[in-house]
A and B are shown apart, each in its own frame.
Chain A
Amino acid sequence: MVRPGWKKPLHVRPVPEPVSRPVFFDHPRLRRANLIAQFTVAAALEALGKNVSLVQGGRIRLGIIVGVMAGGVNYSRRFYEEVLQNPRTASPIIFPETVFNAPASHLAAFLGSEMISYTLVGDDGTFLQGVAIAAQWLTDGKVDACLVIGAEETDWIVADAMKLFRRKTIHGAGAGAILLKKDSGSGAIAELTVITDSFPFTQSQSRFETARRMRAHLPSCAPNELLCCGEQDAAENAAWKDWAGARLAPKAILGEAFVAFAAWQCVAACESIRQSEFTAANISVVGVNQQAVGARFLACADAS
């Protein structure tokens, strides 16, 4: 990716062009939408599967929660560059799309879903905070099902900022989504059994301390259980040094995509349980700059 003023480009992991044109591209609301909104809708529709028609038919009350960190940074940067040149001719078509909740809004419009919808902003741990809110809505009977999506898009300004902190990190883009319901009816892939406390990084609590306390909220290592975690993170590695089981740490392949990455961890965990490679999976998120939080998924049969 070109970085203004630099000869060398920045390395990023963008989402490849779709092979065939997705059906949702023609929805009027997506004509002006930025990439993060398109990723959000694509991941959400895949997670919804055949439930899409039930939602559109008004037979499922669907909650929507989207977690982002950099969010719609592409349009925000482009719009501000135009403002710096001449506020009078800054593009009105771009500005509304810069609000953090634009992706959630386009998804709700595509589905015709008028229920409660939150967009959360924070580091990668924000995805599990979203899952916790979804669980609260389901427990309190506020919705029948809830989509939780993590999404990010690449931009030179984010890759540039990341270089200040971790020179070798490669910025990734994309989205991940999971659909949560209260009881494990037919088609359930895995059961959410735990979300640890969210331990924030504060003056009185370091990353090492929070990672250790988060790990303590999850059970000890057992045979055929998977650990989905980040990579080359000293605090996280120290917290999980007792884990002798299988690990999945795809950051080197998929890139650093913040909230989207945490979503992929959950998707990978649930998928490995569905294909009964593992009977349980722990999710470990020691975030970039906010919190350590973890979760646990079990195979449905074992959970009851």
Chain B
Amino acid sequence: MLFPAPKNSDPTGANRVVVTGAGIVTALGIGWQKNAEGFRAGRNAFRPVTLFDVSRQRSKIAAEVDLPAELPTTKLSPNSICRLNRASKMLLIAAHEAWTQAGWNAVENLPVVIGTTSGEMAFGENYLQQAVRFPYSKKAQPTRVVHYQAQQQGLDLCNAFDFSGPVTIVSNACASGANAIGHAFETLRGGHAEKILTGGYDSLCQLTFAGFDSLQALSPTPCRPFDAQRDGLTLGEGAAILTLETLEHARKRNAEVLGEITGYGATTDTHHLTQPHPEGKAAFTAMTSACACAKISPEQIHYVNAHGTATPHNDATESVAINRWATDYAKNLPVSSTKSCSGHLLGAAGAVEAVACLMALRGQWLPPQTSLHKIDPACNFEIVRQPVDKKIGTALSNSFGFGGANASLIFRRWP
């Protein structure tokens, strides 16, 4: 039953929640290894857009993924495999990596909680073009309708690994991935489930690219988060999936643990649909309540993976919020935005950046931003600009989005 809560649930939320599998796909590469190398070196994966025509757009670059020729073998039927488009394939690849690493077996009632902003938008675009150009042609339209919808991508995962469970799609703009992981974390902490497949995905599409360009939010050059002369974000695409379970469940099957999630805070900024309030109250409250949830103070956070989109508004507000939240500890708090490497993955950003934190904690290094020229004087904190090894125990990741969705997650190194 989804309600009332199961017998052994515990409203005080005492269950510890651990990560036993992680899968990731970005323009840096396919899989944990390639992405860890990319994030650690601060490699930027931007290139001219090839997926659709950008000749009349201000910006021409993005962090595009090179999809492999073959998908990993799963239980998906052959004809459903040939109906998958970009977003579904990236999601499937990331889920396969996490599922294999976790060593889960197919069970009933295994929840899926994933974030996206556009689902398989490319199919929506194709559907419209054909419906207008050839009003009576039904060719391939049914497949586009079914596989455009985000819930179908969730069901694809159930079919791929032959399990079943509630599929929940969270669409809170650029915070979707973080909200999805946060909701999975709270559901496990409260004993409403024992294990959850969670994460986020989004693929580049013309509608979203043209949308951000119409708002003059895209930079013509690779984005430079927290730079004094920053002039916009760079879009990217990809997916990241985590297999989360309660510590008790992981211990019972003595699974290898990659890291622990200890805190989550989520708020809403009601200032404007696309711009945060300059004082950053919602971001400040999200970070503060994530710390309260993890029962730690800002000084115990060793690295912050900022939302850091490199738009004038976001980075200014996030700086104010971090300065206020970290107080005088800010000056020795290392911060960086990995969007300088992977681009802004919208619905997948929160999930990819969660994996980046797990990589940093596991490898004991800080992901740098090599694209920064001159740091914005508003930042009282230190931006990680060169690859560096560092003993770190906890990391906080911020994700904010259109509509004022603000989310912060805290990760702890394991053991």
Measuring CB to CB, which residues of chain A are less than 8 angstroms from any residue of chain B?
Answer: 3-6, 29, 64, 69, 71, 76-77, 79-81, 83-84, 86-88, 90-92, 95-102, 104-106, 108-109, 112-123, 126, 128-129, 131-133, 135-136, 139-142, 157, 160-161, 164-165, 192-205, 217, 289-291, 293, 295
Contact = CB atoms under 8 A, between A and B. Distances in A.
Contacts of A122: 150-151, 154, 167-169
B interface: dominant SS: mixed
B209 to A, nearest CB: 8
A117 B274 CA distance: 16
Given A120-B168, A136-B192, A291-B167, A194 B56 contact: no
Contacts of B54: 87
A139 B190 contact: yes
19 contacts: A79-B210, A80-B125, A83-B210, A87-B57, A87-B214, A98-B211, A101-B403, A117-B405, A121-B119, A122-B150, A128-B2, A136-B5, A136-B190, A142-B186, A157-B128, A164-B142, A200-B166, A290-B167, A291-B166
Given A79-B211, A80-B128, A203-B77, A114 B282 contact: yes
B2 A120 contact: no
Q: Which 3 A-B pairs have the closest CB atoms?
A: A5-B135, A105-B403, A132-B2
Contacts of A123: 151
A117 B183 CA distance: 11
Contacts of A116: 266-268
B187 interface: yes
B74 to A, nearest CB: 11
Interface string B244-281: 00000000000000000000001111110110000001
Interface size class of B (residues with CB under 8 A): 35 or more
B109 to A, nearest CB: 6
Interface string B51-75: 0001011000000000000000001
A197 B166 contact: yes
A60 B245 CA distance: 33
B285 interface: yes
Given A3-B135, A197-B2, A100 B171 contact: yes
A105 B273 contact: yes
Contacts of B165: 198, 200
Contact of B164 (A71, A98, A205): A205
Contacts of B220: none
B202 to A, nearest CB: 12
Contacts of B4: 135, 139, 193-194
A114 B281 CA distance: 10
B149 A135 contact: no
Given A69-B149, A119-B171, A122-B150, A105 B404 contact: yes
B2 A196 contact: yes
Given A114-B268, A120-B169, A217-B1, A140 B186 contact: yes
A86 B56 contact: yes
B173 A195 contact: no
A141 B11 contact: yes
